Chains A and B, each alone.
Chain A
């Protein structure tokens, strides 16, 4: 009779280990520093990659199975939404402008995350983090594509979507998110993963992704809601990766602490500046508001983030330095941003409008210390002027911050009536900033930030006109030429919502769908 020798049973953790990190070996035919050339130069010291704790254990077979099920459900909803003209069920056609902001500003970042995580996954000698990063690279492809596929249906019926890929590269306000991600991907692999995995995915995701998706849910946009909810379980994995990375790096060597702290300071601020667009979306662009920007900041950053940073204190990490500045700005950020966009909407690929009386009351209630005093009077004035036929479109280009690339419209900490200007000299040139934080980021790495492709400078240098444009020709209209180069169609993609083609079409189609006309 055969004797069956009982095999040693592996526990879940051991099993995952043989499925991932045990696949790796120490190479001898090539030197480690040639195979992994990018892990030394940032100064992060890793002594033992095996100390990495896998934040989740998902083998590929299980990954394919779960993800395929999620995709099947998601695309069924996307298809049904398109087939039923679900876009006609949103609260109000103004809402669609938030989706424009998302596709042009956020989705291309998902694509960059796909490439960036492939890069750092390949760059890390540790097999544990490599597998987690590569899986995230694959997930990010999913997020990019599901967003494009879901929003494709909006593009068929509304303006402001049609050339999102080009706009993300060229249009002035979109250089804010674009340069943010370019900054991360051009940094070293450790900085990238602290920037995106920790500061962005872990600390700030509730202030970016969640407001858009909750906004969609509140405003009847099933398509956006569906991909948002479907991405949630992927995001949960990404967040645990971000947190594990920080803990791992800090546990490896005490010398890593000051480097990591500087990155957290920098990337919280960089990320927050990108969130300017989200703040104005929450307070001004959602017809049915979920919560104010200020409330979101207090819950998700001050409370939840506060708890996180108290937890990280045992590693010596403290709250990002910029938290104080942000706490001051929270009463002003969204208003200052929307006022600016209202002024410059001739050069945007979405529409703007003045908040109506109900909305102004909501803003007063949410911002008792700032709205009535500083911002309501501006809207009242603009409304008066518009009624007299003096709708003011600003055609003078604003000065941009060399680091975050937001126009210089933020005010001095402590004085909301005075624009904050900072500057520094570097190699005989003057550089301008919106804040002390952006100035400090520049001064730490001037060689990097002098390279920035600042949209306003580029326009003034004549680099943003269609080929063959003669700027010296009589009657040359620079704004018109720039819009042509952007491929923003004047009168369709830009200007006020009131009187727009989107507004007319939505009203006509909704009538067709709900009445017998």
Chain B
């Protein structure tokens, strides 16, 4: 039986704001994502040039080599506005908390084979610095990229990476202790194994073009790092060696990387599809940074899987090449 509840109905004068109706070509109600994201960045009438960058306006398309007719085309397929974003992360955080509790309360760390525990500490603890670098880089993308769509997703990405750095810190404290964090940082700054990766990260800090930075960090480095470390080494190899508990602790990263990849791919695809010039620019960036990322990750993988590392990395590269091909790029 249908219950017909009645409310007073009054006819609206319009359905949405004009800048949105103009963009869509029609006045209709839109999702909260679009309403809070389309056309939100000022495009003209800037009063002063930045004293820190007098060559450019506050928001300026000339900060990047990429050219877009419509910067709002770089939409986020996850449709993350702030509310949707925090709600998604709060759920994942709940799961992560339950996983940490499960591992701790059942003393699963003590059941880990010692070599697996040591390898996990040696591999994961220095990665907190990599995530910290990604936090910085995405802050730069947020600050300097043209267009509200990209800037918004970049601040979410930035704070996600801070969250990941903090999960990795907790993992370090759980699998080791405060000294493990210090040892990890020592390895990150001094151990030859980590230096190519640290150089990659530090070199990315001076990249000025925000879309190059998006490519260098979110597409190339994370595109190899997450499948290699979390999907392959932890979820498969460590799990097979009695380290399934570690996979529980890194579940956030695994899910997060699968999810954020949708945003990265959608934006890169739209950029590349826009013009042959854009494709060439992005391809040049990939050509310059991909071999470096691969080279930097090889000794890192070897920490956990020694001589298996090259084969594993090739496998990851193969998957990444397929991903690039879908975007319209080549490895």
List the interface of chain A (C-beta within 8 A of B): 2, 4, 7-8, 10, 18-20, 22-30, 34-35, 37-38, 41, 59-61, 63-65, 67-69, 71-72, 74-75, 83-85, 108, 111-112, 114-115, 118-119, 121-123, 127, 130-131, 134-135, 137-138, 141-142, 144-146, 148-149, 152, 155-159, 161-166, 168-170, 175, 178-179, 182-183, 185-189, 448-449, 451-453, 487, 505, 509, 512-513
8 tightest A-B contacts by CB?
A68-B90, A60-B163, A145-B36, A119-B143, A156-B12, A23-B132, A64-B89, A118-B142
28 pairs from A and B in contact (CB 8 Å cutoff): A18-B178, A23-B129, A24-B132, A27-B202, A28-B202, A29-B203, A34-B206, A38-B52, A60-B89, A65-B93, A75-B83, A85-B7, A122-B143, A127-B132, A134-B158, A138-B159, A141-B152, A145-B32, A148-B17, A149-B35, A155-B17, A156-B12, A156-B13, A157-B13, A161-B17, A165-B39, A185-B50, A448-B51
Q: Are A152 and B17 in contact (CB under 8 A)?
A: yes
A40 and B144 CA atoms in complex are apart in Å by 20
Stretch at the interface among B61-69, B133-141, B243-251: B133-141
Extra contacts, 11 of them, besides A4-B110, A72-B87 (Cβ < 8 A), are A18-B178, A23-B132, A25-B185, A65-B93, A85-B7, A127-B132, A162-B14, A166-B19, A186-B58, A487-B18, A513-B8
Contact bitstring B1-33, A, C-beta under 8 A = 1, else 0: 000000110101111111100000000000010
B92 to chain A, nearest CB (A): 8
- The interface residues of chain A lying within 8 Å CB-to-CB of B96 are 61
The residue on B at minimum CB distance from A107 is B40
Q: Are A509 and B10 in contact (CB under 8 A)?
A: yes
The residue on B at minimum CB distance from A23 is B132
A112 and B326 CA atoms in complex are apart in Å by 35
Q: Are B202 and A145 in contact (CB under 8 A)?
A: no
Q: Are A148 and B189 in contact (CB under 8 A)?
A: no
Residues 112-140 (chain B) with a chain A CB within 8 angstroms: 128-129, 131-132, 135-136, 139-140
Known: A145-B81, A165-B39, A452-B48. A155 touches B14 (CB 8 A): yes
Q: Are B139 and A157 in contact (CB under 8 A)?
A: no
B206 to chain A, nearest CB (A): 5
Q: Are A163 and B166 in contact (CB under 8 A)?
A: no
Q: Are A68 and B47 in contact (CB under 8 A)?
A: no
Q: Are B49 and A451 in contact (CB under 8 A)?
A: yes
B54 to chain A, nearest CB (A): 9
Q: Per a CB cutoff under 8 Å, which of A28, A61, A72, A159 touches B93?
A: A61
B41 an interface residue at 8 Å Cβ cutoff? yes
Residues 41-84 (chain B) with a chain A CB within 8 angstroms: 41-52, 58-59, 81-83
A127 and B41 CA atoms in complex are apart in Å by 27
- The interface residues of chain B lying within 8 Å CB-to-CB of A67 are 86, 90
Q: How many A-B residue pairs have CB under 8 A?
A: 244
Q: Per a CB cutoff under 8 Å, which of A60, A146, A183, A513 touches B47?
A: A183
Residues 176-191 (chain B) with a chain A CB within 8 angstroms: 177-178, 181, 185, 188-189
| B interface: dominant SS | helix
- The interface residues of chain B lying within 8 Å CB-to-CB of A449 are 48
Q: Are A165 and B86 in contact (CB under 8 A)?
A: no
Q: Are A59 and B166 in contact (CB under 8 A)?
A: yes
- The interface residues of chain A lying within 8 Å CB-to-CB of B16 are 152, 155
Contact bitstring B235-256, A, C-beta under 8 A = 1, else 0: 0000000000000000000000
B169 an interface residue at 8 Å Cβ cutoff? yes
B205 an interface residue at 8 Å Cβ cutoff? yes
